[in-house]
Chain A
Amino acid sequence: DTEVTQTPKHLVMGMTNKKSLKCEQHMGHRAMYWYKQKAKKPPELMFVYSYEKLSINESVPSRFSPECPNSSLLNLHLHALQPEDSALYLCASSQDSGDEQYFGPGTRLTVT
């Protein structure tokens, strides 16, 4: 099973709302990732968790807050977002560094 699941599939939120995106994998992978993807562009890395510890933060604004409760779960907490944060948010996982990454279907986020 090479499945990464993400919920919700779609999310519309106002600029004062607080919401969370969830990601889950049961492949025993030790690395999990959050990406942001704008239309017609490649994914941009936001965060990497390795062995449940934050390994990489690509200078992401603090209105995005990642959390890794356990080795299978990854959350992205959203607060006070801007309309330009509207995008497809992708979660991925890999066995370890350099290994192929498996992507979830994404959450389509719209900030109004």
Chain B
Amino acid sequence: AQSVTQPDIHITVSEGASLELRCNYSYGATPYLFWYVQSPGQGLQLLLKYFSGDTLVQGIKGFEAEFKRSQSSFNLRKPSVHWSDAAEYFCAVASPNSNDYKLSFGAGTTVTVRA
């Protein structure tokens, strides 16, 4: 069974500082990988995705993520955080097999931005 681990429950970062959120997955093959962000009381917004190819993926809002097969990781980064980046971040994986619609989420990481 596939699983996703986000080791950091809560991260506090100063505005303008860099941010890195960790994500590790357990799966038999390379799954499809996603990062979502959720502001309080809102739905989830897709930041970026990895299916194949270049292991450094650019997303929206200045985020990027790097897929490392050897470490089964898909860490999310942003060079300079803005106060509006305070939110809940979810890493998710999906099977590349057809007819499998399930998205497995990590537990989430809460990001707090201090002025």
Residues of chain A having any CB pair with chain B under 8 Å: 4, 6, 31, 33, 40-43, 45, 48, 50, 55-56, 88, 90, 92, 94, 96-106, 108
Contact = CB atoms under 8 A, between A and B. Distances in A.
A106 B42 CA distance: 7
Contacts of A106: 41-43
A43 B94 contact: no
Interface of B: 32, 34, 36, 41-46, 49, 88, 90, 94-103, 105-108, 110
A33 B101 contact: yes
A40 B106 CA distance: 12
B46 A98 contact: no
By CB atoms of chain B within 10 A, which of A40, A43, A102 has the most? A43
Main secondary structure of the interface of A (DSSP, over half): strand
A100 B101 contact: no
A93 B35 CA distance: 16
A56 B102 contact: yes
Most buried by A among B44, B99, B110: B44
20 contacts: A6-B43, A31-B101, A33-B101, A40-B88, A45-B102, A55-B101, A56-B102, A88-B41, A94-B101, A97-B99, A98-B94, A98-B98, A98-B101, A100-B34, A101-B46, A102-B46, A103-B36, A103-B45, A105-B43, A106-B42
